[in-house]
Amino acid sequence: AQYGSCSLRKMGAMEALELLDQLVDESDPDVDFPNSYHAYQTAEGIRRAHPDKDWFHLVGLLHDLGKVLALFGEPQ
């Protein structure tokens, strides 16, 4: 009920990927590259392993987008 109305903020997937770069991920606090880089790495790895499953490439790209909620006060 709290998030169903999307009243907090509306954004596209690319904007959310860019916002990930403002976040220090608690699971990888010592990583020196942007969080969006991990999303692109994951998508590319899946594309190489499964070139015929374009839906899976997208899942790899989007898999961490929920972490942007930490920028709005939600716990990681």
The binding site for Fe cation comprises: 38, 63-64
Strand ranges inside the chain, DSSP E: none
Query: Quick one: DSSP state of residue 29?
Result: T
Other CB atoms closer than 10 Å to residue 13's CB: what's the count?
12
Annotated binding site: 38, 63-64
